[in-house]
Chains A and B, each alone.
Chain A
Amino acid sequence: MATPTQHHKRRRLSPLLHDLADELLFVILDRVAADDPRALKSFALASRACHAAEARHRRLLRAFRADLLPAALARYSAVSRLDLSLCPRVTDAALAALSTAPSVSAVDLSRSRGFGAAGLAALVAACPNLTDLDLSNGLDFTDAGAAEVAKARRLQRLSLSRCKQLTDMGLGCIAVGCPDLRELSLKWCIGVTHMGLDLLALKCKKLKILDLSYTMEEKIAVQIVKNCFPAIMKLQNLEVLILVGCNGIDDDALTSLDQECSKSLQVLDMSNSYNVTHVGVLSVVNAMPNLLELNLSYCCPVTPSMSSSFKMIHKLQTLKLDGCQFMADGLKSIGKSCVSLRELSLSKCSGVTDTDLSFAVSRLKNLLKLDITCCRKITDVSLAAITSSCPSLISLRMESCSLVSSVGLQLIGKRCSHLEELDLTDNDLDDEGLKALSGCRKLSSLKIGICLRISDEGLSHISKSCSDLREIDLYRCGGISDEGVTHIAQGCPMLESINLSYCTKLTDHSLRSLSKCIKLNTLEIRGCPMVSSAGLSEIATGCRLLSKLDIKKCFEINDLGMIFLSQFSHSLRQINLSYCSVSDIGLISLSSICGLQNMTIVHLAGVTPNGLIAALMVCGLRKVKLHEAFKSMVPLHMVKVVEARGCVFQWINKPYQVALQPCDLWKQQSQDLLVQ
């Protein structure tokens, strides 16, 4: 850009742009990008000057191929976030080729494999300002790698989830080497023991968020709890502590906490730690009076004494008791003691009755989010109480509350006009209910799957008022047709995700109307036998951001649809094309989509082993589901080559089943199962 000829050219092409200060230009670009994500691309292609400006503006680089990173970083010199999650295989050599990139502060390697300690050493050396590193799912990540990571002294956020080979030695290196660490995830790091954690608590005093889920197995927990639990709890700045599935934590451990716990702790998640009883919870409550969020899901039965102890936590805002068994009056006590509660989650709880729930919600005036999924005993009484006492609810999840009548459901729309998220899956919702919901103008997520009684008319009410709708789930809504989908597509231009699976009446018209929703990224039309390639081609050309597509059992879709997808849907990440009429050609053309990650190819009659392997050789898939029959047909060495590139094979052995069950029959069957 510095050469005079280029300078001159740039001036000639876009004098206005040249006069604009970069800061202003970047603000403009930010706004343009927020409005239309594809606009930046057009801008970059307008001229060399625009191209350069866009390169300077770019902060996030999501690479498709790790071996071109040096060139990419040379072009986008201002990039601060490097996302390699689309590269299933990042080799040491690719990382070693990195030249110094002082602007890069965050690197995501959470979905990549193939790199070792040498690659990490090169990465850390190339990014001196690295503060954020995600190495989750690093099954090959060892202590040697950790020792290299420890050289990134400015590291503040580090995720090592599922790095199962990590031991105390590696963690010790990191603890000593990265004193600025604020957030650390050691989820599923089962090789770590109390010694490493103890050292971590000693050396990383700035830790704010610590995830130790599933690290404390029962065997070693005695040691952990005795030696390092107090040390971790005493971390001065610790705000979030996640201890999911730590079966080793029991009442003894928690009672020992008593007074010596950090007062800064705000979030405690002890879900699935089933050795904790109300005694331990009482200790927690006593020791952590400043908690804002407490998660005791799947822990222990909720007794009245336990829930009344929650009143010790004055500021408690979020209480999650999913899967707990409520003893008599347990829920009532929550209503009495947790007045400041904003979020209450009771999904899959047993023992939630109308009287208790009604009493509780009548006291919880500040409630914003309520989850009563699968509380099958509640009826219209509860719903009336909820809607009357908590009119400011923004989220209500009540899937499979089958005793609630359609009349009761109408109350939601009439009284809770602030709702943004509503889950009414598998309820007795009808068009009247939907009409009532049209009062919720802020609705952004609406899940009304398996509501067999809704029809196009109800959807038209929604489309008229809920223009902000981003997600709609119409799974197995057998009553709707193209007309309803068209209403939604026209009325909800912000739509990002739509599930139309097993809405068997739908045809290409639906897809044609949906293609106008340019932000659509998730489309599930599984089991819509009347949809064809023509409709899919409309989607491909219209919805350029499509990343997840499920066209299983859309028997009419053939190679042509795939060719359109390959040509236009370059954001596609995941596709399920089982039972489609796609042949080798369609598969191979599909494989030219660079970012494709997951593919499910089961029961594709037209696909041969050779075509399949050719397609797999081309695309850099992360995971592919194939029918088991292919296992013997595909050459083993080919499979190995594909696996070497980071792809995981999953062999499916499901029977070939073309017939689609009617929705009502299906629902009846599922309810029969429930009764049993």
Chain B
Amino acid sequence: MESGLGRSSETSLKASSSMASNTSRNTDLDQQGGHFNSMDQSCFARPSQSFPAFSPLFGVQSSSLYLPDDNEAKIGNQFEPNPSLNNPTVDWDPQVMLSNLSFLEQKIKQVKDIVQSMSSRESQVAGGSSEVQAKQQLVTADLTCIIIQLISTAGSLLPSMKNPLLSSNPAVRHLSNTLGSPMAFGSSCNQRPSSNNDATIPDITKTPDYEELMNSLNSTTQGESDELMKCQNPCGGEGSEPIPMEDHDVKESDDGGEGENLPPGSYVVLQLEKEEILAPHTHFCLICGKGFKRDANLRMHMRGHGDEYKTPAALAKPSKDSSSEPAPVTRYSCPYVGCKRNKEHRKFQPLKTILCVKNHYKRSHCDKSYTCSRCNTKKFSVIADLKTHEKHCGRDKWLCSCGTTFSRKDKLFGHVALFQGHTPALPMDDVKVTGASEQSQDSEAMNNMVGSIVYNFPGSSSDDIPNLDMKMADDTRYFSPLCIDPCFGGLDDFTRPGFDISENPFSFLPSGSCSFEQQNGDS
């Protein structure tokens, strides 16, 4: 990046660098002045320290702004090697003023050239959008630069405007807002001036010069800047009109909500982001909705919202603080679009508390990651639900064939009685236990034993039946007690011809006392 930037053309680099250095000097100067007024003389060392805190604002901003065009690329970096322009001159220098003005002149001419080239090309070619875009950004950046320069120059001239930052910062901040550095939000908070300072801002921004400048800006680059604004801040679609700080703060907490769709003024709707909801927080800021694990952290956070939260009372009991204020009734919206609890839903039903939001979001829009360890079927997304379930899970779980479960048997039977075709269902593990193991498991071994000894007939299949029937014919023979008849077995009963497997009973006796243990294959 550095090397690429280094190849930029001489002139533009020079111009922009001088501008940037001037700006930085001025801001530094203003800051210094501010410190001077409000603080001790002993704080002289401050400027150099405070500068790095300030420079990234410019650095990032300018680099991002100038990046598309290599010409002005170096500027951002120029701050860093140039931190010590801390000349604490209070009176204005005509030399400096002169050079400033000449720089402005030069710069305006530059911008004019660019715009002219753009307008001539626009008539010729409709395409080349990337090039045009780059040019537009360049123009915007240059104009910003001019405005800053102009204001700082003018500010140095006005003796009443000696307070630091006032002349430069609001404008810068505003521009950064409209042009969209992400840092701008944070920095605006950091640099948030005291309330009486805020009151002066509109005065500055609405000076005729400024308005004129803005108008001229708009006349050239209205469309483009609109686009940019939309990209950065989708909620603030009011074009180039300057957005006051207070408005912006509200918008931020509202998170882009469209207030005009809500029912008239009954309550304020807050919508937390998904990440915020799922964070393991229990304490939430009533203003911005930020969550904390500990109440103490929340209280520390609340100090950032203003002095009224800094009182010992407020720090001790934040709840009293909110009650003392006539805070509007607050309701919450689920961030899941399409959900009935989402404020964009036609029949929006708000959630009452942040806890409701959390539980609702987890139950409705999150995976059920907690599985009951007892039944291994029920799943929950809220751990409290799991714990509630686990209290009842297990024995007293009464199941219907439709899948509904009941905590009480009489409820199940009431349900079964009510619905046609529903029948009480046995839990699956219960079926296994009672059906298989209880009686069969121990007798399974017995079956094997039995199988190995008893029905050891060579032909116990149906094929043998006709033969057996023939055998049955000789059961009327008179029995001679001296010989053991091979047809000794029960074959006389006509009620069971299918079972007349007549064998010598002794043949299925074990030959030894214990030989029955040997397995036979065909049983």
Contacts and interface: CB of A to CB of B under 8 A. Distances in A.
Interface in B143-183: none
A44 B497 contact: yes
Interface residues of B, number: 59
Contacts of B516: 617, 641
Interface stretch (B25-33, B251-259, B482-490): B482-490
B447 interface: yes
B488 A560 contact: no
Given A202-B417, A614-B509, A641-B450, A68 B501 contact: yes
A147 B462 CA distance: 32
Given A75-B462, A142-B435, A62 B440 contact: no
Given A65-B499, A168-B409, 6 more contacts: A61-B495, A91-B447, A150-B423, A173-B423, A594-B490, A617-B510
Interface in B479-523: 479, 481, 485, 488-499, 501, 505-506, 508-510, 513, 516
Contact of A145 (B435, B446, B488, B506): B435
B489 A594 contact: yes
Given A92-B440, A568-B492, A618 B505 contact: yes
Interface string B433-467: 01110111001001101100111000011100100
21 contacts: A41-B497, A68-B499, A72-B499, A116-B435, A118-B436, A143-B430, A144-B426, A168-B409, A169-B398, A172-B413, A172-B416, A173-B423, A176-B416, A176-B421, A570-B492, A588-B505, A610-B513, A618-B509, A640-B446, A644-B447, A644-B450
Nearest to B434: A142
Nearest to A93: B447
A140 B447 contact: no
B439 A64 contact: no
Contact of B462 (A71, A91, A117): A71
B462 A70 contact: yes
B454 A645 contact: yes
A116 B447 CA distance: 14
Given A140-B439, A563-B479, A563-B481, A67 B460 contact: yes
A315 interface: no
Given A202-B417, A589-B488, A617-B454, A641 B498 contact: no
B305 interface: no
Nearest to B445: A644
Contacts, number: 179
Interface in A537-592: 544, 560, 563-564, 566-568, 570-571, 588-589, 591-592
Contacts of B505: 588-589, 591-592, 618
Contacts of A640: 446
A31 B413 CA distance: 52
B328 to A, nearest CB: 54
A62 B358 CA distance: 69
A644 B446 contact: yes
A88 to B, nearest CB: 11
Secondary structure at chain B's binding surface: helix, strand, loop or mixed? helix
B387 interface: no
Contact of B417 (A62, A142, A147, A199): A199
Interface in A140-170: 140, 142-145, 147, 150, 165, 168-169
B443 A114 contact: yes
B313 interface: no
Residue among A74, A570, A643 with the highest chain B CB neighbour number at 10 A: A570
A645 to B, nearest CB: 5
Contacts of A145: 435
Interface in A229-258: none
Nearest to B419: A176
Question: On chain A, which size bracket covers the interface?
Answer: 35 or more
Interface string B240-260: 000000000000000000000
B434 A143 contact: yes
A75 B465 contact: yes
Contacts of A176: 416, 421-424
B462 A63 contact: no
A67 B523 CA distance: 11
Contacts of A117: 431, 434-436
A195 B411 CA distance: 10
B508 A618 contact: yes
A570 B490 contact: yes
B446 A63 contact: no
B499 A594 contact: yes
B490 A595 contact: yes
Contacts of B461: 71
A65 B465 contact: no
B426 A62 contact: no
Contact of B494 (A44, A118, A592): A44
Contact of B496 (A64, A118, A196): A64
Contacts of B454: 617, 645
4 tightest A-B contacts by CB? A41-B494, A644-B446, A72-B498, A71-B462
A202 B438 CA distance: 32
Contacts of B139: none
Given A142-B438, A144-B426, A168-B413, A592 B490 contact: yes
A196 B417 CA distance: 10
A76 interface: yes
Given A198-B413, A614-B509, A71 B498 contact: yes
A116 B440 contact: yes
A7 interface: no
Given A71-B498, A560-B481, A592 B488 contact: yes
Given A71-B461, A71-B498, A641 B513 contact: no
Nearest to A533: B481
Contacts of A67: 455, 460
B469 interface: yes
A63 B491 contact: no
A61 B410 CA distance: 43
Contact of A594 (B460, B472, B496, B510): B496
Interface in A103-119: 114, 116-118
Contacts of A592: 488-490, 505
Nearest to B491: A570
B396 to A, nearest CB: 13
A45 interface: yes
Residue among A71, A169, A635 with the highest chain B CB neighbour number at 10 A: A169
Contacts of A8: none
A382 to B, nearest CB: 47
Nearest to B498: A72
A589 B490 CA distance: 10
Contacts of B446: 640-641, 643-645
Interface string A338-365: 0000000000000000000000000000
